[in-house]
Structure 1
């Protein structure tokens, strides 16, 4: 009997109603794994491949045949938007069968939640934070709600592997299973996993089950990619070439089928077809050069890159991705100023985590309207699998930090049988006459090329980091357990928390040190009988709704205009100043610091936005591929005229200065007969950070290093008294003698990274950073490599 024949009748009817001609490979493989085994399942397939249906068709079939007596399946999604989207999709599927679908997060009405509490059944869709709240505040009801829980489906599982949030998710599943006395199967869904075996092991951790990872051959798909470069002010990199493409009407994007071409032809042809193995044809988007920006089309101080996006979103539904909320606000405001200047209706929306739910959901709803001529400027909030209708193309401003993010954003388009399409727009300031050599390199352009080439050539995606020392999360789960269960003896508490699989590297001594610190600071209180309860300071922390989230948050002020809530801001300016949020500019009328409220009135203009720091973690593999981009002569067919010209310039500079021949480049002598140097390690963010510290802490005095400046993770500049050979000799010796990673911390340094680090003993914070964050092994391997080359 085939998988389709085993589906429940209402599932078969759903497939017929949607005129599916056949099941996709991932759906057949998932059906076999779920129907025929008792193992966990990890489904890895491209975006829009039908992974959600692949997981739920067999689950719903089981529920049809044998209804669960409680919530039978728990669906954990990383964002509210994804939960909302999947709620409506599953509701349509389950309505005929009478299988209830519930959703639960901060924006869901209390009446909907009350109905679930009265009649727990079917499928519950929830975020990790709301599940934490449920375990804490409805602890007594958990066993009744989940006594027959059979499946936990984790959507976009790669997004929950980042930092502490993935660990929290795993801890929550284990705590829930213990409380309810169940052993649910876990099903992970993702389009971008670099090491499926490692993620499969993570998914199965502590359960005694294996994880089935079906290998599915997907049909070839054509990708449409272009990458263009812009200086923020004219002239551009190829002004002479650009004359032939000015004022040309935009061409249709042309998909080029795979064809036999010699390496020489492929290098010379800007339209050469690329075929990544197993994925189909990766082709360029054929577009003209950037539109000319005469004064009657662009506002004053026009930004050529944003003007390019403005022109090529007209008449199309697009997503415009930015790497930060600040940049998203700036870009949206600028695009709206183009609309106003040209007398066009505003066609740009904005979507990021600091906006109110009403504004985010309104943007999603407008994008689902196929007749609407609108585009959204977004951050990673729309990177995941939210359905916002038929999108024709995505724009990416500068390079994302990871291959995973590139693939997720690329996958937002290309649904409903259309090929995925992404246009990269790289922006850069013009170099001044006295700019240092490394600052003249277009690092973001190189990074974007490297991300594409790594996936195209090797199918490489960043593997998860699953072996950290998560002391902040340990503290959080300790308080959460005490808050939900009440008084526990130290031994009972350790058995509840320290046995959670995610804390396998944490020792009993570490946990004792944490508990003593929490007791001393009144976060935990020891009773007369020796039991442990939440202390007064701990109650202030755990009673806040913000406790449920383990990701770092800034102190936020709610922004209101009249009765409408616009969103939130960090560090608001005083009254009379302007702020940018929701794609508009507002003047601050009043700041209520006690209640964290900001009252504003909308005005015209343009100002920077500020929401807090945004960090990126770039892998060593990406940096190494960037170096190869400078070294090789390949003409990547997705590069447009400005980008091709800018890459030629960068390669010329690299060859002329021997930039990739060795890691240390002499930049010249200064007036005091000291030499300025540039070090290009080609290391990922945390190995680069370890190298910075090794030089500053262990080598700087001996080498006479001053004026140390880091542009992480690309290069380091410094003035040095010693010569090149002495540099490598001292550096290699320091790396070889480094035994304890804690030596790379400054004497009084307390490196707070995670949300609850401030509640953790300083000794554990230092240990967690040195042994769980810094990539000391990667740094030492690179330094040893330099030593073999420079010190024969």
Structure 2
């Protein structure tokens, strides 16, 4: 406990008051590094391991002993809900000392923001989007706000490692540091980092400090894990154990669905009397699941015990769920998306359910980590769903992809501690547009050379050439996003103002055009593509009839009704890494039994292994489906799969007589061809190994808009970004050379 004596008296008091008998290894390691060096620090440890205290005990001690003359700590979080949660925890820590904690996001009052601007001090908590807004709209205040900034804490670092949002965050950190003339240390926190070396490099990119990862002793985690499989109706895979005559719902009730869904019945029964989370992979699915579970309550004459939480709900609905989750005595279950995946402390949660497989090991670990606090083991119940295949369904359609994917995610972590590594965009032109416009909007008129020196020197754009930047600037001047003044300076043009002056500009992730949904005085949330008046919509776990649509103000007015319909929020499937598909393939070839599989899942796995063996899938990636129809199983990641699709359609089509091509990315491709299996593989390997530019896998007139601001880029840069940053040519070539 030597490090204990180094903490400020109020930190020592906090530790005593909470009855801590000793400090955890991550808290000792973090304090030693922060106190005894000037390094950046990556704190990578399991959920509920005390990372927040590990970072803030020494940081607050420093602020107490050496009070900063401005904001001393900038805390960046991916979610407002996480900020609100940590705001309470930090205020409790700082309640006896003069270290104020401030929040800055869309739900914080202007009064609070004005107070901060007048008296910059303490800790400021912010999202990347609000920081972008601050940089643009309060440009002149930045030096005063941050001239004595000592630390930048980035919470849930893993959520920034694989997207332009992460690139934006680190661009903003660099820009702010230059504007305020400071060199703050960076402290990254995450529970789901696999490759700490590459994550540390990402955290420290563009910083003058080296990055240290304190060693953390393994805590010997205990998991309670189960995985069950359900067909949506009829006999289950383990039919001896299933009685379809015993549905949970009374099918004669006009409130019940036509056929009771056994997977929902399973969740309904096993959440009773417990506080649980039910995770889904999309907002649509979240709404559907909550509707069904509430309907079960109604038919069973039980009180409603289900809440809902996702990004399109109003703040009031989200906060209601969060408050209920924190209530130690609550026995409510919340249906959620990734919005409750990150580190909000939701108290003593007994069990988490995951419907179908998530896309990443990181997501699985985060969701698993929501449970198991207060000394209990983490507990996750996977519920894998599938429809009975039609009698004439072809081979790839009778494989339970979600079940295989779920097993692969679990096994990759258990066997190798593998988690998705950082994956920055090689040519992030969409973000380049965004940061160019943001820099101009905040700084005012600049010469082209000044603008280039501000933007191109940001570490995230290290692969962008000056020639490409000139192409971009000329295009933006032609399109009036940027205007050239009489003396040769650059300012935001009229078209650019329409983009920059919209609040949605602050975010770099894709957003749909959303309509606010209201019922009388109640704000429900937002939806995409409102239906005509009289039609129904699904939001907040209920069904509503549209009374009026105000397209000018983007508002929908409605009233509640009973029933069930699908919701739509514009969700897209996630990117799945090659390692996950390769482990899925291995599941089919090995005889290993997995102890967490329940009866139906065990039986379904045996079925698919038998199917794979008899079909020839275990010996070859290419299977004949009859006649000239073939199915290719590449077992590679989403973006390598996409590159392979294009290689076949662009480079091989004529040589093999390709037709009727369609795919289920990233699992399989089906097509007809005129050549033999051996000829196809020979042609494919030959074409893949040729020395070609990845731009050749973009169709002649195609402009594949992929990221949010691609529509404002010149076509040649859109094509170039897609070819070099989206298509994974290297992994595709590796995959082709391993096909058999």
TM class by smaller structure: over 0.9
In structure 2, the residue matched to 1:719 is: 672
Deviation by residue 1:424-476 (Cα, 9 ceiling, x = unmatched): 00000101110001110100000000000000000000111025211010000
Q: Is 2:272 the partner of 1:314?
A: yes
**More displaced stretch, 214-223 vs 68-77:** 214-223
Deviations 1:165-218 (A, max 9, x none): 000000000010001010000000001112211111111112232100112112
Q: Does 1:557 align with 2:510?
A: no
Identify the residue that residue 698 of structure 1 maps to in structure 2. Answer: 651
User: What is residue 420 of structure 2 aligned with on the other side?
Assistant: 462
Distance 1:291 1:607, change over 3 A: closer
Please report how far the alpha carbon of residue 294 of structure 1 lies from its aligned counterpart in structure 2 after TM superposition. 6.3
The SS at the match of 2:518 is: strand
Aligned to 2:330: 372
Where 2:410 maps in the other structure, the secondary structure is: helix
Q: Distance in 2 between matches of 1:557 and 1:132?
A: 24
Q: Which residue of 2 aligns with 1:741?
A: 694
C-alpha distance in 2 between matches for 1:758 and 1:63: 45
- The answer to whether the 8 A contact 1:104-1:125 is kept is yes
Q: 1:588 to 1:775 in 2, by over 3 A?
A: same
Please, what TM-score do these two structures have when normalized by structure 2? 0.98
Give distance in 2, aligned partners of 1:76 and 1:780.
39
Contact 2:26 2:216 in 1 (8 A): yes
Q: Distance in 1 between matches of 2:319 and 2:701?
A: 46
Match of 2:681 among 711, 728, 734: 728
Moved more, 400-409 or 459-468: 459-468
Which deviations, in whole Å up to 9, do the C-alpha atoms of 1:2-37 show, x marking residues without a partner? 211100010010011111111001000000110111
Q: 2:537 aligns with which of 579, 584, 596?
A: 579
CA distance in 2, matches of 1:374, 1:30: 36
The 1-side partners of 2:700 and 2:197 are apart by 40
Alignment equivalent of 2:719, drawn from 759, 766, 770 = 766
CA 708–364 in structure 1, closer or farther in 2 if over 3 Å, else same: same
Q: Determine the C-alpha separation between the residues in 2 that align with 1:18 and 1:125.
A: 24
Residue deviations 1:716-773, cap 9 Å, x none? 0111111111101111111122510001111111111111111111100110010011
Q: How many residues align?
A: 738
| SS class of match (2:738) | helix
CA contact (8 A) 2:351 2:379 kept: yes
CA distance in 1, matches of 2:371, 2:413: 18
Q: Which moved more, 1:585-594 or 1:70-79?
A: 585-594
Deviation at 1:296, TM superposition (A): 8.5
| Structure 2 CA distance for aligned equivalents of residues 292 and 325 of structure 1 | 25
CA distance in 2, matches of 1:12, 1:450: 44
Match of 2:430 among 442, 455, 472: 472
Which residue pairs with 2:566 in the alignment? 608
Match of 1:54 in 2: 54
Per the alignment, residue 753 of structure 1 pairs with 706
* 8 Å CA contact retained: 1:204, 1:210: yes
CA contact (8 A) 2:405 2:580 kept: yes
Query: Aligned-residue CA RMSD in angstroms?
Result: 1.4
Does structure 2 retain, via aligned residues, the 8 Å contact 1:74–1:123?
yes
* Correspondence list, 1:60-71, <5 A: 60-71=60-71
In structure 2, the partner of 1:273 is none
For the structure 1 residues 378 and 190, does the alpha-carbon distance in structure 2 shift closer, same or farther, using more than 3 Å as the test? same
> 3-state DSSP class of the match of 1:3?
helix
Unaligned residue ranges in structure 2 (runs of 5+): none
User: What do residues 530-587 of structure 1 show as CA deviations (whole Å, max 9, x unaligned)?
Assistant: 0000000111111111111111100111111112211111111111110100000001
- The residue that corresponds to 1:240 in the other structure is 240
Match of residue 99 from structure 1: 99
The C-alpha deviation readout for 1:334-363, integer Å capped at 9, x for no partner, is: 000000000111111111111111110111
| Paired residues of 1:154 and 1:188 also in contact (CA < 8 A) | yes
Residue 661 of structure 2 is matched in structure 1 by 708
SS at match of 1:717: strand
- What's 1:591 paired with? 549
Number of the residue aligned with 2:615: 657
Q: What secondary structure sits across from 2:438 in the alignment?
A: helix
Alignment of 1:314-713 (within 5 A): 314-669=272-627, 675-713=628-666
1-structure distance, mates of 2:607, 2:227: 16
Distance (whole Å) between structure 1 residues aligned to residue 410 and residue 69 of structure 2: 48
User: How much has 1:293 moved relative to structure 2?
Assistant: 6.1
Q: In the alignment, which residue of structure 2 is the partner of 1:154?
A: 154
The 1-side partners of 2:248 and 2:520 are apart by 41
Match of 2:132 in 1: 132
**Residues 227-252 of structure 1, C-alpha deviation per residue, up to 9 Å, x if partnerless?**
00000111111121346xx99xxxxx
